[in-house]
Structure formats: structure tokens, C-alpha cells
Structure 1
Amino acid sequence: MIHGPCERRNSNSPCLVDGKCSKGFPKKFQNETATNEDGYPTYQRRNLEPVTLGKHRIDNSWVVPYNPYLSLRYNCHINIEICASVKSVKYLFKYVFKGNDWTNVNFKVEVQTCFDSRYVSSPEAIWRIFRFDKHQQSHPIMRLAVHLKGEQTVLYRPDLESVSRALQQHQDTTLTAWFNMNQENDAARVYKYTEIPEHFVFSQKDRKCLPRKAGFGKTTGRMYPISIGDTKRYFLRLILLHVPGATCFEFLKPVNGVQYDTYFQAAKAQGLTTDENIWDDTLADAAGAAMPRNLRDLFAYICIYSGLTDMSSLWNNHKTSLIDDFVKKKKNGHFFSHECNLCESYALRDIQDVLMTHGKRCNGFSLQIPLADLLIQFNDGTNVQLIYLFILFNNFYIPTNVGNISSVYIKQNLATGFTIIA
């Protein structure tokens, strides 16, 4: 399998962007296969004698990675690449689980700033129609509840039991059962909440934690993830990660003899919010599963609630994950790199949009101010910047000064939102 050739040998090749091959050909010669930080190996390429192919002399630098057996077996061209890092596996499998595709269309109107829509792609539809397996499980996972006092979720069947009976029998969760166990069993108070499943079993029937018969199990405890926007539960969860042997909700608020009113104040007094390592671990854990846009929202909320004023080192440590989607996109014929100021500005703009809802900006956290006049990218790949917006009636015009678009006609449908016709 031969790529091209392109560049100077064929200036009309569809792979060329700004005169350079978007696929990275010709490849460099090297004696051994090596992996890099992005997980895409650079394969062994010997500097062999070129051969004549048509009107071109082709050497080993133009050969596309392939598997001879598969090419012979299926009698076609098959490009084979090796996924050798966690990052590659993340992008290989996460699209099955990341949820529906989303699009944010922002308008400069105060009443309605964006639309919440759902898009089901063809691969996702086929995957669900044929009921393909979505995951495999190696170790048992015990989900640990995180809720405020008196705000636990109670599930019941109305055709089998009344509300009062359900509240009486199912009011204890894994969290309240942990509190109750610590009140009765002093030996259990050495364990943190997430360590309990390794040593105890939560009985669904009795709604209490019972010691494991084998003494120790392979069950892993996982608390439900909480958005940092839900500050009460988020900082409760943060404290639960570090405090062992709690006997009640009130047990978690005193720090060094001082009683605090909120979990945020208690976490701050323990140094959990101002410890940059905590937030560094938080972003590192989230990067294993979350999409870059979700990571940017998380980063913004960390800026707001952490109490840190210098976020530059945290930004530099996780910049690769925060701008990863922009790095892989093509805008205006430009392929982004991790050192590109433009893709950093797009990421910082998303972060600043969240910060501004709380009256803050990037420069308040020692972060670079996003470049001005960044374009809004719509789903179809067209960049449109809405400069002025004059709402007259339900149907109105938006004058613009971008490219050859003189105006955009928008018809408002009260049931479904806006329909845009350029």
C-alpha cells in the first residue's frame, strides 16, 4: 500500500493542507518501532532502494502501515495501526459510552443563550439495533451513594408497597449504613468510605453493612460522580474521600475543634480545596473518561470553588487534555498543534464563558486572556460570527459582516426553538 505520492510530486493531492500532507507522509526512516505520547507508533522503516511505480520513484517512506495476511486474506487495502496507550484506547472505545452527540449554538440574547438537542449518529444507531455488548466487567463494583442529610433517593413499586412503608424500609443507603456501622463497630472506623466494600458487604435486605466472610474481597467501591456545580454534595464527597470512621453527617463538619456550617468550609479548613495536588488528581482522573469540553467545564468550576488564584501550573499540566479536541480539528485550513495559541484560546474561551457566569475572568487566575473575535463553529463546519442581533418580532433578521453573508433570517418556533435559514 503506497500513499500518494503528494506534496511537490503531486500538488493536487486531496491530502494536502497548506502544501503539507495531513497524513504525515513521507515518513522518516528509522531502525526500530517506537511509541510516542499520543500512542501512535512510528514504525520501523528501513532505507531501502527505491522502486519505480508509474512515473514516480517510491521508497519505504511512502508505505502505509499494513498487515500482509489481512491484505491477502481479504484482497483489499487495509490500513493497520496499533493502539498502544491508554489515550488511544480511550478514543477507540469512549464514543460508545460518552452519550449522545451535542451541539451548542450560542446567540447574543439574554433570554435564550443555547439549545439542548440530541443527535443519534448512524454508528450509534446500528450498535443499539444489533444490541452489541457495551462493556465487560472484571471486578465487582459497588456503587456508593453520596447525598445530603435526608435527601437520599428511595426506590419502590407503588403496586407492591406504600410510600410510608418504602421510606421506613429503604431509607438507609450505603452512606447511612456506613455511619451506623461506625457507631456500632469501633474496628471499622479505620476505613474510609471507599474502602468499606473491600471488607464489608452491604445487605440489600437488612440495609446494613456486614463483615465479609472471607475477610477481604476484590470488590471495588466507587462513589457516584458529582458535578462541582453541586457544591454541597461535591465537597461532601471530597471530605468522604479523606475522612475515615464518620458516624454521622455532623461528624464531617468539625475541623480541629471548630464547627463549620458547610462542607465547603470544612474542606477548605482541611486544606482539601487549596491543595493543588487534589485538583491535579481530579483532572487526571476525569481525563481518562471525560471529553475535552467536559474537562474545560470542570477546570472552570475548580477555578471558581478551589480558592486558588494561580491556575497557570494546573493549566499547563493538563493543557494537552483540555485542548485535545481543538488539536484534532481543522479550522480555516490550519491543523492545530499542542503549541498553537489559537487552539488554546478556543479552550480558554469555553472556560471563561463559565467563569463569567460567576463574575470572574481568566486573568483573575493567572490564565491567558482568550484571543478576541473567535468564530462560532456550527455543526456543519461553517464558522459564523453573529455581530448584531435585533429582535423585532417572532421572525427577525440578524445583520452580519462575515464573508459574503449579509443577513441571517431566523424564524422562531415556540415549540421547537429557532430555525436558521442563511
Structure 2
Amino acid sequence: MQNYILKYKAHINVEWCNQSRSIKYLFKYVNKGNDRVTVEFYKTTTDDAVVFQDDDTINHVLNRETVGQSMFNAWFVANKKFKETSLLTYIEMPTNFVWKKDIREWHPRKKGFSIGRIFYVPPASDDDKEYIDVINEASYWSTAHSLRKLFVLLLTSTSIIRPENVWNQYVGIVTDLVLTEEEKKNFGLFELEKLLRLQNKSLKDYPPMPIPTIDNSRLVQNHLVFEELCYNHEQLKEDAEVLSSKLTKEQSFIYDIVIQDISANKGGLFFVYGYGGTGKIFLWRALSAAVRCKGQIVLNVASSGIASLLLPGGRTAHSRFAISIAINEESTCNIKQGSDLAELLIKTSLIIWDEAPMMHKHCFESLDRTMRDLLRFVDTHSSTKTFGGKTVVLGGDFCQILPVVPKGTRQDIVSSAINSSYLWDSYKVLRLTKNLTLSSVPNGGNRQALQEFADWIATIDDGKMGGRNDGYAEVEIPKHMLLPS
């Protein structure tokens, strides 16, 4: 009795509907017909069946003569038998060779030309060198967090054959942390585990991948706090000295006030008011370096994603403080007492919030209420202190974008700004007025013209142009500032 091998290929109709109002989808699904299976029989050239016993060793199973090899495996065999196959890739095999189904072998094509179909070879059938090269290439321009996400993607897509080998190549890439090699590995594993948990998976699902240990006191602590403390303090100290030496008198005045407030733990509130080009970002960088080089935590946030990219370690305010999208006068941030984010805020020394005027006042008030509540366990008087007693510096220009109020009137927009909040009376307003972009322009007529134009724009911003007005005024543009048609 001859053996027959049953090969099946399932045709399963899988559809995705992302609109509940797509009624015709329901009718199409009802009338689509049954799922179908294509069955194919072919005659074997041996009497051995494709079975093995439970107690067979792996070597015995792998080394035994198989009844029918796959197209891919047969391609390797053909490379040994035919010289011309060395010039063909696996995809190009059907152009010059014919697949003999009955004997499961490739044979040279004798006549004609055909574009054949070959079976898909999963990436896991290859080695992992390609993925190691991809990660190494991405390391030149990508962040460590993005590299970890890439590695998790490769893990969850089962693309890697031996993930532990790729991991060993990947560890050395993260060099921006002041840690030992063992601590780097442990920290990276913690971060990978955190990303995998978002997909209901764990490193335990991918043996023999290593698992993060918890016997290291520097890594047991809150991972958010750990990230903020992993800066190179020596490098930051050098940066702080260089940046502080380049500050203008206005910037130095603000810099000294903020640093003194942090040192005295006064928990002051400051608003740095300056239009574009006055050096607010440069001041934020100097303050961040000066505080972080002492091993203290600075949280740099901005009201928009683009502005946050200019800040060292910047994040959007909504992301960092878990501020609700739909917000009102009674809202609080989605931060639970005892959580990692709560501990981070408790240990923070300075909060810098750029582009503050474009954010609704309820966002600041929400964070204020949350921090007063979170800090009550470390300071019994936190409920009476703005932002729980933390030093907070806001910056921006009220002449630029104000909070967006859908269908709101001018009064609605003005009343939603930060200077209409109950917090505003506690802020000390500090000003930057010198346009630093002009410092790079050599002395001469061009610089004088640019200074005149900058002063004219600033006068309009301050509402001083056009005489006394209620917000509306006619401004005549000087003729020498106009470009002729």
C-alpha cells in the first residue's frame, strides 16, 4: 500500500470593518459563502511516513530522511547538483527550473518560459545578521527608546531566530547612561519588559532571553526617576559653566533668581515673558544643566510637540503630567498616589514649561491641585503652596498663540489664558527684551534696519502702536519696510 501525503491550503475569508454604519458589510458577510479548503494528494517515492515518536531525539528527527522536502530546502539541494543555480536566487528559480511535485525536487527547465509561484519563506528561516545590521544602522540616528521599540517589534513578530544573540549585539549601543555594563543590560531589560507588558507579553515568553534582575538597588527604584538621574553629571557640569558664561544680563538675572529659589526650597512661581528671539530656550538649557549636574531632577515640558523637541529631555505637558484632554475647572491629572509618576513629581526640583500662554489655564490648575495632593505625605503644608511647593518656571509670549476655545469669543479666549487663573497672582513676571538674533549680525546699516524693524514689531505686540485702543487699531507700515511690486 502506497503512502499519500495530504497537503491542505485554507482559504479563510477575513475582513475588517471599522465603521458601524457600513450596513452593506453585513449583507456581504452573510452572502460570502462557506470557507473552503483545497486538498492535494501526491504520490511519494518512499514507504516511510512523515511521523516521529514523542521520545525521538531532536538530532534523530532532524537528520532522518524526509519524505518530501519543501521548495526552499530543495533549493539548497539543487545548488549542490546544478552549477547554474549558483547564479539564481530562490525567487528566480522558477525561471530556469521546474518544481516536480511528485518527487519534490527542482529540475532544469527544458523549454519555454514561465513565471512560477514559490512558497513564502518566513524571515525566521534566515539568520539574524540582517536584524543586527538594521539595529546598528538605526543607532546612528534613532533614540534608545526607539531602538527598544524596534527590538520589541522584532520579538513579537517572531522575526528573530535567536533573540538573545541580537540582544547581546544591541546592548552596547545604549551609551548615554552613566552606568556599568551590567546595569546597562539590566536597565535595557526593564525597559523591554515594560514595552512588552503593553502587549500582554513578557521576556519570559522568549527564552533564552535574559530577564531583568531586581537585586540592584540603583535599578529597583522608580524607572522614571532612574531615567532622570542617569545623566552624565560631569558633562552637565561643563555644559552648565559654558552656558552660564554666555548668558546676557537679563538672562543671568533670571538664572540667579531661579537657582537661588531652588537652593532655598522656596517653591517660587516665575513667568519669563519674552517674544521670539530673546533666548528663552537658551535659558532653559542653562537652568537644566545647572540643576541636573547636582543630581537633581528637572522636568522640561512644552505646550506643543514641536516646542518640546527643543528642550533637553523635553516632553509635551499632556504626556508628562497625564493631563486630561477634556478639562474643566475641577479636573485633576491622572496620577495616582504611589505611582511611578507621582514619585517622580515628588523628587523633582524644577519644572520648566515653555509656550505656556497657548495652554488653557485649567491645565495649570489641574497640575496645581494634583501636586498639592501628592506632596502632602512629604510636606504637611503642601496644600497651601502652589504646585505643592515646587519651583515652576513658565515661559512664552502672550502676543503669540493663545488657548484655542472652539467657537469662543474674544472674552472666552482671554479668560482661558494663564493670566486669568487664580495662580497668576503668585507668579513673579520676569522679562527678556533683547533680541539675540541681532547679535550675530555685524554692525552697520543692515543691523540698524533689523533693530528698527524688531522694535517696531515689539511695539505692535505690546499694543503701543496706533495710540490708545481697545485692542483694535490702524497701523501704518513705514514705506521703507515695504517691498515694491
What TM bracket, shorter-length normalisation?
under 0.3
Q: Which has the higher contact order (CA 8 A, sep 6+)?
A: 2
TM-score normalised by the chain length of structure 1: 0.28
Q: Rg larger in 1 or in 2? A: 2
